[in-house]
Structure 1
């Protein structure tokens, strides 16, 4: 009688032990299969960005576009000097897979023009943050640092509702680009001042903005710098286009420079497939 009572007890104990081992998380067996829909580390990892490489920066701008931005190029007569001017100079970088750039500087009889094109590929090292999300955060910081005025306008140049009801200079047609005297601007009277203000652009990449500043410090001619920055997936592109006239008191045309910089930005965006 005692033997019959003992054997079932041993069998029950053995079944319990085996069941415990099978259900152990360390076994990697039944615990994973019991909930196939659970997200593991691999499934939680954020997706990489679209771009794994960057273009060669000094070859990213074609010769015709360079001539529009840097009029002094066509004035160069010496072949070696022309080749060097068109080729540009690569900016210093320690990782060409992450950040590259190229700069050009050309003098003409009317002004000195400078162009900088910079490409930055953003990579997130946080499995919970995608490359695109990391790039979006960095671009937001860049835009905040630009301190764009309010109200902003659309990429097509249409003022926002808060600007359209203005009764200031926009109503009279007097251009008042930030940083430049109203009397020195060559913009058409039909162009509202908000069309030339630093602003968000809605027709370029995933997001973009334009900045326009005039440096009137010192006794030399005033230098205008137009910056266009845009993001496409995990790549941020920045264009800095500056012009300093030879004649003291002359002011570079804001609209002309903005149009040239935006045209280059659109070409680079198309080349990236953005």
Structure 2
């Protein structure tokens, strides 16, 4: 009779241990205050188009005058373009074209960059916006439509902001009446420092060229639209018109259109160099055709 209670006791102990284990496991999973990270949404685009086939043949004939008059093999070589060297075609691709006509040489290049954020708290779109903003700043432009990553530095209580305002009022003023540049140089548009990294590589033209003024300005006082932010092109876009640098023996002009759509940043560069040094490239024509191509590429991406 003493054996049965012993079996019952052993069974009770086994059940109790099992219940305790389940309880501890549940408790570990449901601890109060455990962080929950919701991954940022991925970008819209997972692939990139074939760049050398992204421009319709009809547009290439218009952008590269003289190419259509070449013999068959040479014409095909020009229109086929030359793919940019890249080591990750899922992330960055490009293509280049060039045509020589009796009166001028035209060159065209397009680049697609698919931006991927490896930070789960930052979306691909936000990371692409940062890449685009660097290019915009390198061109000497700023839409200032969205706060940058340094926006938190400007936050604070009203008293703190008032103290900062008072400190700024004590700073020496420049000719325009603005306080002198801060330590990061962002308030000095005439700074000669060159943006580093990828943005400077993609937009090597200087700020003086963007405005057409200073030593980088055109030697001809033609009336042209300046570099500027563009509307109704992707999520954000700008045009950069870069005339010949001083000291060049030939007139040369490059118009760049850069835009972002979701997590892809696209750059179009269209340039002309006349055969005669007395000729001046038609900035209006270059700008119009570069924008038309950029809009066509934006439509292609949205398909």
Q: TM-score range by the shorter chain?
A: 0.7 to 0.9
User: Counterpart of 1:57?
Assistant: 51
Contact 2:234/2:298 (8 A) holds in 1? yes
CA distances 1:55-89 after superposition (whole Å, capped 9, x unpaired): 0000000111111111121231x110000000000
TM-score w.r.t. structure 2 length?
Answer: 0.66
CA distances 1:30-68 after superposition (whole Å, capped 9, x unpaired): 564698xx8734xx1111100000000000001111111
Q: Tell me if 1:232 matches 2:261.
A: yes
Q: Any runs of at least 4 consecutive aligned residues in structure 1 with deviations exceeding 6 A, and if so which?
A: 14-20
Contiguous gaps of at least 5 residues in structure 1 = 1-13, 152-175, 188-192
- The number of equivalent residue pairs is 223
- Equivalents in 2 of 1:110, 1:149: separation in Å? 36
Contiguous gaps of at least 5 residues in structure 2 = 1-13, 145-210
TM-score w.r.t. structure 1 length?
Answer: 0.73
User: Counterpart of 1:199?
Assistant: 228
Which one of the candidate residues 83, 90, 95 is aligned to 1:102?
A: 95
Q: 1:68 to 1:39 in 2, by over 3 A?
A: farther
* SS of alignment partner, residue 71 of structure 1: coil
* SS of alignment partner, residue 212 of structure 1: strand
Contact 2:228/2:238 (8 A) holds in 1? yes
Q: 1:177 to 1:16 in 2, by over 3 A?
A: same
* SS of alignment partner, residue 104 of structure 1: strand
Q: 1:149 to 1:138 in 2, by over 3 A?
A: closer
User: Counterpart of 2:134?
Assistant: 141
User: Counterpart of 1:180?
Assistant: 218
Q: Tell me if 1:264 matches 2:287.
A: no
Q: Tell me if 1:251 matches 2:292.
A: no
1:109 positional shift: 0.9
